[in-house]
Amino acid sequence: MQNCSPTQTSLQLLDKTKPYNDLLWHRFTTRVRYGETDKMGIVYHPNYLKYFELGRTELMRARGLPYSELERRGLNLVVVEANCKYKGSAIYDEEIIISTIVSEATKVKILFDYILNSASDNRLLAEGYTVLACVNTDSKVIKLPEEVISILTKSM
């Protein structure tokens, strides 16, 4: 796995109009719900970060490590940095594809990259990243177990 920083992310390693060609990316399709839109029927901008969260949690579930399992182990992942570049508008009832990849995982933080595309025409809607730190139930930064790093960085 190539280590990337938020300024040179794995987003640069992928043709954003064809995320289906890279096996490391996890893809999840969802539909824009009415409550996620503004008066004009366009997705309200903070909701793109919710789509990132959905992509992240579904990637973890697909790799056999649902977030609830981390919590059972006394581990929590907290967002310490988030970035979203808006490239197009998603509208009410549109199907969108959330592509997610773990770009970097260290002993205390994980970098996730995201690409959101329209399912109908593959139009790029947004791209971004989040950095998550591992903390215990007392909110103290702790090391991620090697097993967790291995699961999150494995190929699909």
Query: Which candidate, 63, 64, 149, 66, places its Cα nearest to that of 111?
Result: 149
Task: Provide the residue ranges of all domains of the chain, joining segments of one domain with +.
Answer: 10-153
* 3-class state of residue 144 by DSSP: coil
Q: What is the pLDDT of residues 91-150, one digit of tens each?
A: 999 999 999 999 999 999 999 999 999 999 999 999 999 999 999 999 999 999 999 999
Average pLDDT over residues 31-48: 97
State how beta strands 109-118 and 124-135 pair: antiparallel
> Would you say 103 and 111 are in contact if contact means Cβ atoms under 8 Å apart?
yes
pLDDT in the model for residue 21: 46
Report the helix count and the strand count for the chain, using DSSP H and E. Answer: 3, 5
**Contacts of residue 146, Cβ cutoff 8 Å, sequence gap at least 6:** none
pLDDT in the model for residue 1: 38
Q: What CATH number does the domain located at 10-153 have?
A: 3.10.129.10
What is the set of active-site residues? 38
pTM of the full structure = 0.85
pLDDT surpasses 90 at 24: no
pLDDT surpasses 90 at 154: no
